[in-house]
Homo-oligomer: A and B are copies of this chain.
Amino acid sequence: MTATRDVPPEEQARHAARMARKKAARDRMMETKTAEKGLVIVHTGPGKGKSSSGFGMIMRCIAHQMPCAVVQFIKGAWDTGERRLLTTHFADLCQFHAMGEGFTWETQDRSRDIAAAEAGWQTAQALIRDPSIRMVLLDEINIALRYGYLDVQAVLDFLATEKPPMTHVVLTGRGAPEALVAAADLVTEMAMVKHPFRAGVKAQAGVEF
């Protein structure tokens, strides 16, 4: 690669004109985006990045001094990086509740999984009801919804009627129920294009936990 490529003046002029038109169109579009509201955000799909982008948003909230909270529905006692960082550095701004009992194939106990999910949802409801908390991350709750540990309609009814208007709620996990996708404001599907587990690489610190 050369240190700096020279752009011929005529190409530069064409580029500038094209970008000026793009900026004008974009400015017109952005003028219509004026509303602020608390969003119901869903990260689903089989790909990576559902929880980590949820934690990325929690970190943004912390940076903006916005009180926030995390409830983990599947992960339990594991010492994940996100847990360690939030509880040791930012406990004043971000509550952290690991309410899970582990993967369903680890517990092998449906009653216990249901009880854990319901306890997590009780905690989540209290956090969401508190209007001083600006974002609540419900990590892996979609798994609990998919397995029927929690009732989807009860969760949607709660979000529709009791979530304060400016509170963001982020729900992660693969297999988000259709009714949740329909009710949400912002939905991203993480698609797995390529995953290193297939090449024999294990879960690694920093990347997966």
Contact = CB atoms under 8 A, between A and B. Distances in A.
Contacts of A199: 35, 185
A114 B60 contact: no
A93 B134 CA distance: 28
A155 to B, nearest CB: 9
A62 interface: yes
A135 B34 CA distance: 37
A118 B185 contact: no
B63 A84 contact: yes
A72 interface: no
Contacts of A200: 32-35
Given A4-B114, A49-B188, A201-B185, A81 B64 contact: yes
Instruction: Count this chain's copies in the assembly.
Output: 2
Interface string A61-95: 11110101000000000001111110001000000
Contacts of A104: 19, 22
A188 B190 contact: yes
A202 interface: yes
Contacts of A207: 39, 41, 57, 60, 135, 168, 186
A195 B173 CA distance: 18
A106 to B, nearest CB: 7
Interface string A1-42: 101111100011001100110110010001011111101011
A194 B190 contact: no
A156 interface: no
Contacts of A121: 1
A164 interface: no
Nearest to A5: B114
Interface in A166-207: 168, 181, 184-197, 199-207
Interface string A98-118: 000000111111110011001
A154 interface: yes
